[in-house]
Amino acid sequence: MAPIVSPKRPPLLIAFGLYFLVILPISNIVARAWVKSVSLTDAVQLAGEFSRLEWAILAVSLVVGAGILRVERWAWWLFVFYAPLFATYDAIIFSRNPNLFNVGALLQTIIAFGAVAYFVRRDIYAPFLAEQARGFRDRTRHAITVPIVINGEERTTVDVSEDGCFVLWPQCAGEVGDTVSVDVNVGGEHFVRESAEVARKTPEGIGISFNKRATIGRFRAAVKRL
Protein backbone atom coordinates (compact mmCIF):
# COMPACT_ATOMS: atom_id res chain seq x y z
CA MET A 1 0.00 0.00 0.00
CA ALA A 2 1.36 3.39 -0.95
CA PRO A 3 2.59 5.48 1.97
CA ILE A 4 1.59 9.06 2.58
CA VAL A 5 3.81 11.72 4.09
CA SER A 6 3.07 13.22 7.49
CA PRO A 7 2.54 16.96 7.93
CA LYS A 8 5.71 19.01 7.62
CA ARG A 9 7.21 21.34 10.17
CA PRO A 10 5.24 24.59 10.58
CA PRO A 11 6.68 27.39 8.38
CA LEU A 12 7.24 29.65 11.39
CA LEU A 13 9.31 26.95 13.10
CA ILE A 14 11.45 26.66 9.97
CA ALA A 15 11.80 30.44 9.91
CA PHE A 16 13.03 30.54 13.51
CA GLY A 17 15.41 27.67 12.85
CA LEU A 18 16.93 29.48 9.87
CA TYR A 19 17.02 32.73 11.85
CA PHE A 20 19.18 31.24 14.59
CA LEU A 21 21.23 29.14 12.16
CA VAL A 22 21.91 31.69 9.42
CA ILE A 23 20.44 35.17 9.79
CA LEU A 24 21.44 35.98 13.38
CA PRO A 25 25.17 35.13 13.12
CA ILE A 26 25.64 36.56 9.62
CA SER A 27 23.74 39.78 10.33
CA ASN A 28 25.78 40.36 13.48
CA ILE A 29 29.07 39.87 11.68
CA VAL A 30 28.08 42.08 8.74
CA ALA A 31 26.68 44.81 11.00
CA ARG A 32 29.77 44.85 13.21
CA ALA A 33 32.03 45.05 10.15
CA TRP A 34 29.99 47.97 8.79
CA VAL A 35 29.96 49.90 12.08
CA LYS A 36 33.69 49.38 12.64
CA SER A 37 34.56 49.95 8.97
CA VAL A 38 36.22 46.54 8.79
CA SER A 39 36.38 44.56 5.56
CA LEU A 40 34.50 41.28 5.64
CA THR A 41 37.52 39.70 3.98
CA ASP A 42 39.81 40.73 6.85
CA ALA A 43 39.03 37.74 9.08
CA VAL A 44 41.71 38.52 11.67
CA GLN A 45 40.65 42.10 12.31
CA LEU A 46 36.98 41.18 12.17
CA ALA A 47 37.49 38.43 14.74
CA GLY A 48 39.09 40.97 17.05
CA GLU A 49 35.97 43.12 16.98
CA PHE A 50 34.03 40.47 18.91
CA SER A 51 34.67 39.40 22.48
CA ARG A 52 34.93 35.72 23.35
CA LEU A 53 31.48 35.90 24.90
CA GLU A 54 30.02 37.35 21.71
CA TRP A 55 31.63 34.65 19.56
CA ALA A 56 30.28 32.04 21.95
CA ILE A 57 26.77 33.50 21.65
CA LEU A 58 27.00 33.37 17.85
CA ALA A 59 28.34 29.82 17.92
CA VAL A 60 25.53 28.61 20.17
CA SER A 61 23.05 30.24 17.81
CA LEU A 62 24.24 27.90 15.04
CA VAL A 63 23.70 24.87 17.24
CA VAL A 64 20.25 26.06 18.34
CA GLY A 65 19.15 26.69 14.76
CA ALA A 66 20.33 23.29 13.54
CA GLY A 67 18.64 21.52 16.45
CA ILE A 68 15.35 23.37 15.94
CA LEU A 69 15.24 22.36 12.29
CA ARG A 70 15.95 18.74 13.23
CA VAL A 71 13.34 18.85 16.03
CA GLU A 72 15.78 17.48 18.60
CA ARG A 73 15.01 17.20 22.33
CA TRP A 74 18.30 18.82 23.33
CA ALA A 75 17.59 21.74 21.00
CA TRP A 76 14.46 22.64 22.95
CA TRP A 77 16.29 22.79 26.27
CA LEU A 78 19.24 24.64 24.77
CA PHE A 79 16.82 27.14 23.24
CA VAL A 80 14.98 27.60 26.56
CA PHE A 81 18.22 28.69 28.23
CA TYR A 82 19.80 30.45 25.27
CA ALA A 83 17.01 32.74 24.04
CA PRO A 84 16.40 34.60 27.35
CA LEU A 85 20.16 34.98 27.95
CA PHE A 86 20.69 36.22 24.40
CA ALA A 87 17.80 38.68 24.69
CA THR A 88 19.00 39.95 28.07
CA TYR A 89 22.55 40.45 26.78
CA ASP A 90 21.30 42.48 23.79
CA ALA A 91 19.04 44.58 26.01
CA ILE A 92 21.93 45.39 28.38
CA ILE A 93 24.24 46.34 25.52
CA PHE A 94 21.58 48.60 24.02
CA SER A 95 20.90 50.32 27.35
CA ARG A 96 24.60 51.10 27.75
CA ASN A 97 25.17 52.32 24.21
CA PRO A 98 22.04 52.92 22.08
CA ASN A 99 23.86 53.32 18.74
CA LEU A 100 22.73 52.10 15.34
CA PHE A 101 24.41 48.71 15.74
CA ASN A 102 22.71 48.13 19.05
CA VAL A 103 19.35 49.10 17.59
CA GLY A 104 19.73 45.99 15.48
CA ALA A 105 20.60 44.09 18.64
CA LEU A 106 17.38 45.35 20.20
CA LEU A 107 15.40 44.10 17.21
CA GLN A 108 17.07 40.72 17.66
CA THR A 109 15.93 40.79 21.28
CA ILE A 110 12.35 41.32 20.16
CA ILE A 111 12.64 38.42 17.72
CA ALA A 112 14.15 36.23 20.43
CA PHE A 113 11.26 36.93 22.79
CA GLY A 114 8.85 36.30 19.93
CA ALA A 115 10.55 32.92 19.44
CA VAL A 116 10.10 32.17 23.14
CA ALA A 117 6.38 32.98 22.92
CA TYR A 118 6.05 30.74 19.87
CA PHE A 119 7.97 27.78 21.23
CA VAL A 120 6.13 27.58 24.56
CA ARG A 121 2.98 26.57 22.68
CA ARG A 122 2.25 22.94 23.49
CA ASP A 123 1.75 21.80 19.90
CA ILE A 124 5.21 23.17 19.07
CA TYR A 125 7.26 21.99 22.04
CA ALA A 126 5.63 18.55 22.32
CA PRO A 127 7.51 17.07 19.34
CA PHE A 128 10.82 18.25 20.83
CA LEU A 129 10.17 16.58 24.18
CA ALA A 130 8.73 13.32 22.87
CA GLU A 131 11.03 10.32 22.54
CA GLN A 132 8.97 9.24 19.56
CA ALA A 133 7.85 11.41 16.69
CA ARG A 134 4.71 13.46 17.05
CA GLY A 135 2.65 15.90 15.12
CA PHE A 136 4.67 17.49 12.37
CA ARG A 137 7.78 15.32 12.49
CA ASP A 138 8.67 13.91 9.08
CA ARG A 139 7.47 10.31 9.26
CA THR A 140 6.05 8.11 6.56
CA ARG A 141 2.49 7.08 7.29
CA HIS A 142 0.67 4.15 5.72
CA ALA A 143 -2.96 4.71 4.84
CA ILE A 144 -4.46 1.53 6.26
CA THR A 145 -7.70 0.96 8.11
CA VAL A 146 -7.72 -1.55 10.97
CA PRO A 147 -9.92 -1.93 14.05
CA ILE A 148 -8.48 -0.47 17.23
CA VAL A 149 -9.75 -0.38 20.81
CA ILE A 150 -8.82 2.64 22.94
CA ASN A 151 -9.88 2.59 26.59
CA GLY A 152 -12.58 0.08 25.66
CA GLU A 153 -13.90 2.18 22.77
CA GLU A 154 -13.91 0.46 19.38
CA ARG A 155 -12.58 2.75 16.67
CA THR A 156 -10.79 2.58 13.30
CA THR A 157 -7.37 3.80 12.24
CA VAL A 158 -6.92 6.15 9.30
CA ASP A 159 -3.19 5.61 8.93
CA VAL A 160 -0.23 4.23 10.86
CA SER A 161 3.43 5.24 11.10
CA GLU A 162 6.41 3.69 12.87
CA ASP A 163 5.49 5.52 16.08
CA GLY A 164 1.73 5.28 16.31
CA CYS A 165 -1.44 5.85 14.37
CA PHE A 166 -4.20 8.30 13.66
CA VAL A 167 -7.64 7.18 14.80
CA LEU A 168 -10.96 8.35 13.38
CA TRP A 169 -12.75 9.72 16.44
CA PRO A 170 -14.81 12.90 15.99
CA GLN A 171 -15.61 14.75 19.23
CA CYS A 172 -13.17 12.64 21.21
CA ALA A 173 -13.15 13.69 24.86
CA GLY A 174 -9.44 12.95 25.24
CA GLU A 175 -6.84 15.71 25.23
CA VAL A 176 -3.24 15.90 24.07
CA GLY A 177 -1.05 14.32 26.72
CA ASP A 178 -3.67 11.88 28.00
CA THR A 179 -2.51 8.28 28.58
CA VAL A 180 -4.68 5.59 26.98
CA SER A 181 -4.81 1.79 26.75
CA VAL A 182 -4.62 0.42 23.21
CA ASP A 183 -5.51 -2.92 21.57
CA VAL A 184 -4.67 -3.21 17.88
CA ASN A 185 -3.34 -5.69 15.33
CA VAL A 186 -0.84 -4.27 12.83
CA GLY A 187 1.25 -6.26 10.37
CA GLY A 188 0.30 -9.53 12.06
CA GLU A 189 1.49 -8.24 15.44
CA HIS A 190 -1.13 -8.04 18.18
CA PHE A 191 -0.75 -5.24 20.75
CA VAL A 192 -2.85 -5.82 23.87
CA ARG A 193 -3.52 -3.19 26.53
CA GLU A 194 -0.44 -1.23 25.50
CA SER A 195 0.15 2.18 27.05
CA ALA A 196 0.04 5.08 24.61
CA GLU A 197 -0.37 8.84 24.66
CA VAL A 198 -2.60 11.22 22.74
CA ALA A 199 -0.01 13.11 20.66
CA ARG A 200 -2.35 15.34 18.67
CA LYS A 201 -6.04 16.03 18.30
CA THR A 202 -8.07 17.31 15.35
CA PRO A 203 -11.80 17.59 14.66
CA GLU A 204 -11.55 14.26 12.80
CA GLY A 205 -9.80 12.26 15.50
CA ILE A 206 -6.64 11.73 17.52
CA GLY A 207 -3.07 10.71 16.86
CA ILE A 208 -1.61 8.31 19.41
CA SER A 209 1.99 7.29 20.06
CA PHE A 210 3.22 4.44 22.22
CA ASN A 211 5.12 5.11 25.44
CA LYS A 212 7.26 2.05 26.12
CA ARG A 213 10.48 1.49 24.20
CA ALA A 214 9.78 -2.22 23.78
CA THR A 215 6.34 -1.52 22.34
CA ILE A 216 7.71 1.17 20.03
CA GLY A 217 10.29 -1.31 18.72
CA ARG A 218 7.66 -4.00 18.09
CA PHE A 219 5.32 -1.51 16.43
CA ARG A 220 8.03 -0.18 14.13
CA ALA A 221 8.94 -3.71 13.08
CA ALA A 222 5.26 -4.46 12.40
CA VAL A 223 4.82 -1.31 10.30
CA LYS A 224 7.89 -2.16 8.22
CA ARG A 225 6.17 -5.41 7.27
CA LEU A 226 3.23 -3.55 5.74
Tell me: pLDDT of 140 over 60: yes
Q: Are 38 and 49 in contact (CB under 8 A)?
A: yes
Note the pLDDT tens digit of each residue in 34-65: 877 888 888 778 778 888 888 888 899 899 88
Question: Rounded CA gap, 79 and 124, in Å?
Answer: 13
Tell me: pLDDT of 183 over 90: yes
Strand 205-210 to strand 164-168: parallel, antiparallel, or no bridges (unpaired)? antiparallel
Q: Are 184 and 149 in contact (CB under 8 A)?
A: yes
Q: Are 73 and 128 in contact (CB under 8 A)?
A: yes
pTM exceeds 0.85: no
Tell me: pLDDT of 22 over 80: yes
CATH code at 140-224? 2.40.10.220
Question: Rounded CA gap, 200 and 149, in Å?
Answer: 17
CA distances (Å), origin 179, targets 39, 43, 186, 214: 58, 55, 20, 17
What are the boundaries of each domain within the chain?
A: 9-129, 140-224
Average pLDDT along the chain: 79
Note the pLDDT tens digit of each residue in 107-126: 777 777 777 767 756 556 65
